[in-house]
Amino acid sequence: MGREVIVFAEVKNGSLRNVSFEVLNAAKRIHDGGKITAVIFGEQPDSFAELLTSHGADEILVVNNEELTSYTTDAYTQAFISIVEEKKPDVILMPHTASCKDFAPRLASHLSCGLITDCTDVNIENGNIVFTRPIYAGKAFQKREVIDGKIFATIRPNNIPSGLEDSSRTVNKDTMNVNIDNIRTVVKEVVQKATDGVDLSEAKIIVSGGRGVKSTKGFEPIKELAEVLGAAVGASRGACDAEYCDYSLQIGQTGKVVTPDLYIACGISGAIQHLAGMSNSKIIVAINKDPEAPIFDIADFGIVGDLFEVVPMLTEHFRKVINKQAS
């Protein structure tokens, strides 16, 4: 029979988030011949539908209502309730992003089903869908499966590959208008404090600074290296508390949890709270003048030295390599 799977394809700042493709690939692992429907809120460019189809969606469902223009918990929850009532899926998969972390629990409560959050892997084992998620700040992992009722889970970015594109697949696009009322929150204006650049939660490369940067000006070498590598800039809580940078850059137990391919920690000692947010990075490079810094215990590569000497050297080297490859 197969499983009917609904995937929420999240759009941010006019672009499809990369994690949407990763969630689609998770759906392909478990649909077992059933239909995969990718849901988009609001009219979006046809290219979005084509991209989602090429990554595995069998149907694109565009859900329309003026209340969905800006995110609110009430609007997104009500819209998804209408979708679930219409489509009656066996499985609901969403990205583990700020918006979904907010409204997914309310949706699960309304549907009277469980919710498995922050999954880093999903597979079929003995005929059942098994989700893997980290616990104890990433020190251990647990496997969970739903034995009864609707299956609902969120997928952490940068953990499940997005899969190969197949441009030969045909786009099957449908539109659904939903009723949304009793909205208790009205968005008047969205003000973003974060600087323009690579989305921290989805970045493949992150360059982070800690208290060792010593000042706001000390972050300039970090930003320059990040620019050369096409990376996002992150920070430890210590750097944020010292007002060297904005809290939107904070990585750690009380900040963002990231899993990039490459994480470069500059002047970060490696407190357990920070490690909780980045220890699952694929490759970790630590730069610190203290050879006993805890960050070296988890680093794949360590450089003992002054970051204000090491980081500019790395920046210059990478710039030469990149320019040579481009020529």
What's the average model confidence in pLDDT over 115-135?
Answer: 94
Judged against a pLDDT cut of 80, whether residue 194 lies above it is answered with no
Binding residues: 211, 236-237, 250-254, 267-274, 288
Mean pLDDT over the full length of the chain = 93
Q: Which tokens go with 265?
A: 């920690």
Structure confidence by residue, pLDDT tens digits, 254-302: 899 999 999 999 999 999 999 999 998 999 999 999 999 999 999 999 9
Fold classified for 200-326: Rossmann fold (3.40.50)
What's the average model confidence in pLDDT over 50-54?
Answer: 95
The residues with which 153 forms a beta bridge, in sequence order, are 93, 116
More reliable by pLDDT, 231 or 186: 231
Intrachain domains 5-177 and 200-326 with the same fold: yes
Confidence (pLDDT) at 193: 65
* Whole-Å CA distances, 248 to 19, 215, 217, 241: 19, 17, 18, 12
User: Would you give the end-to-end CA distance of the chain in angstroms?
Assistant: 54
What's the average model confidence in pLDDT over 105-128?
Answer: 94
> At 1, which amino acid appears?
M
Q: Which CATH architecture has domain 5-177?
A: 3-Layer(aba) Sandwich (3.40)
| CA gap 48, 40 in Å, rounded | 9
Binding residues for FAD: 211, 236-237, 250-254, 267-274, 288
**Domain ranges for the chain:** 5-177, 200-326
